[in-house]
Amino acid sequence: MSIVKRAVGRLVHRGWAYMREAAAISPGSTGGYRFRSLGEGACIAFPVGAIFGEAWIEIGAHTLVGERVSISAGMGPGVDLGPASIVRIGRGCSIGRGSHIVGHQSIDIGDDVFTGPYVYITDQNHVYDDPDTPIGRQWPRNKPVVIGSGSWLGTGAIILPGTRIGRQSVVAGGAVVRGEFPDHSVIAGVPAKVVRTHSPELGWHNPSGLRLSGPLTAPRPPAESLTWTDRLS
């Protein structure tokens, strides 16, 4: 490799690193003022995904939203969605790159929730009640979603409308989740079920006798203790 090519490469990498830092959305940046709330130390990494309806989105302090994460409130930009917020992400969370959070009625993500990349969370479903009308033209239904504090959502997990996940729970990668799940649940499968739970008497145990197919990712440390590079990995 020539000296010139190496020098150009260094300049490109330094420029890209500077652009990532300068273009990230933070409470003090121009883009940050569009949100209903963007807490101290929060950051939406560059490149930014599709984000609209910021006036109905709250993001807590020290939460990192990874690269190319899409967060939306409502059907599209410029729609008045009323006085209340719709998407609420707590403090100290880490949302993995390429994830989508699509809110129309209410999505509550608690504090210290971590997700792997490409997680999909929505409170709206298309319906197929009328067999003669294209499904995409039928009016969808909304149902609130709640994800309890301290939970971990594995890569590619899908959280569907009406889901309520308790505190300190684990959702396995690729799970398709609908329904209500208690605190301290390990949720896996398609459709997802509780495969492990915790009680003071038994500790972590399998309530159904089913065997897990593989190890689960260990919980990550608090967001405040991680570097941005760690939290994006």
- Choosing from 126, 184, 198, 205, the catalytic residue is 126
Binned at pLDDT 50, 70 and 90, residue 143 comes out as: very high
Computed over every residue of the chain, the mean pLDDT equals: 88
Residues 13-19, mean pLDDT to the nearest whole number: 74
Type and span of the H or E element at 8:
helix 3-23
**E strand or H helix at 70:** strand 70-73
**Domain range list for the chain:** 3-232
- Judged by average pLDDT, the poorest of 55-59, 166-170, 203-207 is 203-207
> pTM for the complete prediction?
0.84
85-123 pLDDT tens trace: 999 999 999 999 999 999 999 999 999 999 999 999 999
Annotated active-site residue 126? The verdict is: yes
Per CATH, is 3-232 categorized as 2.60.40.420? Answer: no
Residues 176 and 208: their CA atoms lie apart, in Å, by 19
- Whether 218 has a pLDDT exceeding 50, the answer reads no
Q: List the beta bridge partners of residue 160.
A: none
